[in-house]
Structure 1
Amino acid sequence: MTTTLIRNADLAIAWDATAKEHTYLPDADIAFRDGVLTFVGRGYVGTPDAEIDGAGLMVMPGLVNIHSHPSSEPMNKGFTDEVGTPGLYNSSLYEYLPIFRADAEAVPSCVRVAMSELLLSGVTTVADLSMAHPGWLDLLAEAGMRVCIAPMFRSARWFTKNGHVVEYEWDEAAGEKAMAEAFTLIERAEQHECGRLFGMVVPAQIDTCSETLLRESKQEAKARGLSWQIHAAQSVVEFHEITRRHGFTPIGWLDSMGLLSERAIIGHGIFLDDHPSTPWHTRTDLSRLAETGTTVAHCPTVFARRGISLKDIGRYRRAGVNLGLGTDTYPHNMLDEMRLAAYVARTQATDPRTLSSSDLFHAATIGGAQALGRDDIGRLAVGCRADFSLVDVTHPRMQPARDPLRSLIYSAGDRALKAVYVDGHKVVEDGEVLTMDYRAAAAHLHESQKRIEGQVPLRDWAHRSAEQIAPTTFRWA
């Protein structure tokens, strides 16, 4: 084992365990050995085996992304930027996502593109919510990231035959089988030689899972000490479907079954009983989330594209709801997602004070780590994993740097990231991913998209071409 020291960094965003908050620590020394932080402070005493000059750098804890779909979303670039089904409250879930799916040949490139984008934006831990696919574990290990593998399973698939009614095709036995396979895959992930993979239980969507599947999956997750996540309160269609079936809101139904808890994550959690688009006779959803310690995985970009937004993340935080952030869709850029999260919250609240940058960073680090049941990531503290980014505070887009984190989130973005480390290993340097060939994957994805585009009329209920569904910005002359 060798000790590496970042000596005299201009600044570190260090964890204050007493105050339970991040703090700016100037003139910081950060040491790590065997993937673990061994010193965070000033005046390191000892002779390290390797040394990094910290002049001009800010050391920042690795970001924690708790909701992402790397195996599919990169394929949608250029297709779903401006679509939303009018007859389904502008959701893109039911009509468009099934027809733009990556095929088996394209999936590895999707994953490599997404993982590269995440690394380049300072993400060191990501939850990968995907359907199981060949070579998945080795592909994730290749990225060099810390990955929470989250194989989704469900009892039904959704579809529309007309663009205004969502139907469900049920096969509960298949859902049970897929759940068993998911647990086997999680076990394999946790035994992977890279040592950076761990698992989460994910019944895919609240409206595609039977009550039995939901209860059994949560019970097994608890027995195994795993987090449990479900897409819920993510569309107006789903809200009405659940109230029609059960007489509860989506959040209310989950709570009635005892499924909300400190290890439960609601993917999106937008349409509560007090949302303007889904008013209900109760006003208890937000307090249910807070009282049970349930986390909401907030992913603003994918919904902002449809003119949809959570009302608002600052209100959730003040109510006591634990919050984490996810990218969900392309681009998988966590810093961009953080910036949009702040702006959407403030516009929805019509109040610039509804969400502070410290609240936002907490969600992107500690909130996400808490949701995943990890106290060793998302913070710079002795004993935690050596997952961090080096930010160039001398970068012109960081200047003036009165408040470096704000300069990073609202101005510089990923352009100021100098390097990213996971478990003490450098995975990004000067804007280049060191673990995967990002450029080759992107080029392959470009070619794959042409193939997928040709298949769109066969998958679409109305047999429309991709150009009819999602016309390009300008006519091709």
Structure 2
Amino acid sequence: MATTVIRDADLVITWDAAAKQHTYLTDAVLAYEDGRITHVGRDYDGPADTVIDGKGLMVMPGLVNIHCHPSSEPMNKGLIDEIGSPGLYNSSLYEYLPIFRADAEAVPHCVRVALSELLLSGVTTVADLSMAHPGWLDLLAESGMRVCIAPMFRSARWFTKNGHVVEYEWDEKAGEKAMSEAFNLIERAEQHHSGRLFGMVVPAQIDTCSETLLRESFQEAKARGLSWQIHAAQSVVEFHEITRRHGLTPIGWLDSQGLLSERSIIGHGIFLDDHPSTRWHTENDLDRLAETGTTVAHCPTVFARRGISMQHFGRYRKRGVNMGIGTDTYPHNMLDELRLVSYIARTQSGDPRSLTSTDLFDSATIGGAQALGRDDIGRLAPGCRADFVLVDVTHPMMRPARDPMRSLLYAAGDRAIRSVHVDGEAVVRDGKVLTMDYEGAAAALDEAQKRVLDRVPQQDWAHRPVEKISPPTFRWA
């Protein structure tokens, strides 16, 4: 087997297993063979079939994104940037997202656009929370990424007839059937010839799934050794719906059903019992999350657009909650998302010391890996997968380079990324995605959005044209 060696790297972000933390290592060498790292250090006298000059480069572990909807979200660009239902606490979930859904022809273009953007921002592992669609597995494998396929299923759909009341249409048998199909799809993913696909169990939302569906899916996930994720505590509407049904908060109810665990992930987890918008008579939701080892998948952009924020990221971390990061919406830029995590956390806490760059990077690497049950990604150490990113530390926006990670997170972002590798194979080089036609998919998506817009009045409860729902920035002359 051929060995590739990156020599004389200015910097490698290595994993210190004893201290359980990332560490800067200067003038370093990283070697890998057959998709796995064989050496990280300063001295190396092993085989070197291919040598990469590391001068001017920082080698960092690929980022782990644990919550993403690539089959739908790219379609929403230019539509939902500034809208939220005023009668539904500014959420866009119930009134607007259903009317802007991509058609079947557009879905592959959505996926290629989203995954390309993720790759360009240094993501090597992503959890794809989507409804099953034709050719899904091969499309994900085409990207060259490591993908956790997460087919969503549910017992009900939500809708609104007036913009201020959310209703539910239930079909529990359909939910059970969809869950069975999801497990079959996960099995196929794990057997895929690419070797880079694995699965996660995702009952879609806490308010659209029956108690039976939640319990059965959780038990089956546990039996199969899979992670289990659910959207919960993601809107004020949902919070009130769950307290109305059960007399408990969303987090409290999940805990009472035994559904919180070290392999459980809460998508968003914003509206806890002590959040200013949903203050309840208890104050123990955060402790429940920490004590059960549950992960929260934080995706600030989609909420910040609607004036909504978590209270606050640093508080969750300090309480002991494992935090992971996702890109719930466009742009699918993980580094941009991390920067926003930091700024919102500090403004909400009123304290610049509430969250560090270490917290951010850990959440985007080892925090996400832990949530997915993986100890071979999100870090650079012998035995781990060779999933890494080469960052140009000589890029003008990386300088001064007193602390390269801060320069990357707060200034340069994806502009300084030179290449991205999964299992040692390059999937991005010199700012270009090598595995998919990003530009072609974006052009096709532009055309696909026009088809969606034509259908908006028929999909909307009030039969409004798109210009009424989402007015353009300027009047078209």
The aligned residue for residue 427 of structure 1 is 427
- Cα distance in 2 between the residues matched to 1:47 and 1:72: 45
The aligned residue for residue 145 of structure 1 is 145
- Give the SS at the match of 1:341: helix
The aligned residue for residue 300 of structure 2 is 300
The aligned residue for residue 159 of structure 2 is 159
- Cα distance in 2 between the residues matched to 1:290 and 1:224: 24
Q: Does 1:365 align with 2:365?
A: yes
Amino acid aligned to 1:64? V
- Cα distance in 1 between the residues matched to 2:27 and 2:101: 49
- Cα distance in 1 between the residues matched to 2:209 and 2:46: 56
- Give the SS at the match of 2:311: coil
The aligned residue for residue 391 of structure 1 is 391
RMSD: 0.4
The aligned residue for residue 215 of structure 1 is 215
What's the offset of the Cα at 1:173? 0.3
- Cα distance in 2 between the residues matched to 1:404 and 1:356: 14
- Cα distance in 1 between the residues matched to 2:218 and 2:298: 21
The aligned residue for residue 46 of structure 1 is 46
What's the offset of the Cα at 1:290? 0.1
Amino acid aligned to 2:140? L
Deviations 1:31-57 (A, max 9, x none): 000000000011111230000000000
The aligned residue for residue 341 of structure 2 is 341
- Cα distance in 2 between the residues matched to 1:353 and 1:466: 43
User: Which sections of structure 2, spanning at least 5 residues, go unmatched?
Assistant: none
Q: Does 1:353 align with 2:387?
A: no
What's the offset of the Cα at 1:473? 0.5
Amino acid aligned to 1:110? C
- Give the SS at the match of 1:326: strand
Matches within 5 A, 1:17-416: 17-416=17-416
- Give the SS at the match of 1:457: helix
- Cα distance in 2 between the residues matched to 1:44 and 1:452: 56
Amino acid aligned to 1:105? E
Deviations 1:201-244 (A, max 9, x none): 00000000000000000000000000000000000000000000
- Cα distance in 1 between the residues matched to 2:21 and 2:466: 48
- Give the SS at the match of 2:353: coil
Percent identity of equivalent pairs: 81
- Cα distance in 2 between the residues matched to 1:185 and 1:373: 19
Q: TM-score, normalised by structure 1?
A: 1.00
Deviations 1:47-70 (A, max 9, x none): 300000000000000000000000
- Cα distance in 2 between the residues matched to 1:333 and 1:46: 37
Amino acid aligned to 1:445? L
- Cα distance in 2 between the residues matched to 1:221 and 1:269: 20
- Give the SS at the match of 1:336: helix
- Cα distance in 2 between the residues matched to 1:471 and 1:139: 34
- Give the SS at the match of 1:267: strand
- Cα distance in 2 between the residues matched to 1:46 and 1:291: 45
Amino acid aligned to 1:58? M
- Give the SS at the match of 1:401: coil
- Cα distance in 2 between the residues matched to 1:77 and 1:279: 33
The aligned residue for residue 446 of structure 1 is 446
What's the offset of the Cα at 1:323? 0.3
What's the offset of the Cα at 1:172? 0.2
- Cα distance in 2 between the residues matched to 1:85 and 1:310: 19
User: Which sections of structure 1, spanning at least 5 residues, go unmatched?
Assistant: none
What's the offset of the Cα at 1:315? 0.1
What's the offset of the Cα at 1:129? 0.1
- Give the SS at the match of 1:213: helix
What's the offset of the Cα at 1:466? 1.0
- Give the SS at the match of 1:6: strand
- Give the SS at the match of 1:159: strand
- Cα distance in 2 between the residues matched to 1:194 and 1:226: 19
Amino acid aligned to 2:467? E
